[in-house]
Amino acid sequence: MSVADLWDVALNVDEYISSMTQNQGVFAAAIGATELTDQQRRLFAGDPVWILVFTEDFCGDSAQLIPPVARLARESADVDLRILRRDDHRDIAANYLRKDGYQAIPVFIVFGADGGERGFVIERPQVAYSEMAAETSRFASEHPEIEGVSRNYDRMPDETKAAVRANIERYRRTRTSEWVAALFDELEIAARRATLTTAESD
């Protein structure tokens, strides 16, 4: 079975929200709070796409980044969105790993209207990785009193990990608009890449 074969069994947004046991209110509220620009609404105008997402409802990146895509799907006739639980389809999701081999979520997979896969975005836009790393370094330098705060994350004491996570969650909320804009740019690039490749080969 290919990932495209899962489209018909994937959940629409309302079905997914109804099934959530974590972050349900946050997720639903984020859809309502999202304000799209006219340019974002026209992102796939005349070139319809399907976007299939692997996720789990405990994921902070998913609670932040999927709702704006859901809002886009509501406001644009050229975008359809379906959602799958990663843990129910790990065999297929394993084809979409970060560069370090980790099976991160969310994964946004973009298909053309013909059902052909065009590209994908894993976890979060690239700018978010660099900004989160810089923020974690800033937090560590400003809080040398926290035990092990300058170590690699996997070597930090549990209490220090919790403090680092809490800081990143606070920081994440200040960057939503910028990261959503970056995500939309990367989704557009993923969708156009296959189109350009096909055009060049004709």
Q: Looking at residue 194, what is its pLDDT?
A: 57
Cβ–Cβ under 8 Å, residues 49 and 191? yes
Report field, pTM of the whole predicted structure over 0.75: yes
Amino acid, single-letter form, for residue 138: R
Instruction: Please report, for residues 61, 70, 124, 142, the alpha-carbon distance to residue 169 in angstroms, rounded to integers and kept in the order given.
Output: 10, 21, 14, 17
Q: What residues of the chain score a pLDDT lower than 70? A: 194-202
Please state, in angstroms and rounded to a whole number, the distance separating the CA atoms of residues 131 and 11: 32
**Which domains are seen in the chain, by residue range?**
3-124 (3.40.30.10)
Residue-wise pLDDT for 128-150, tens only, equals 999 999 999 999 999 999 999 99
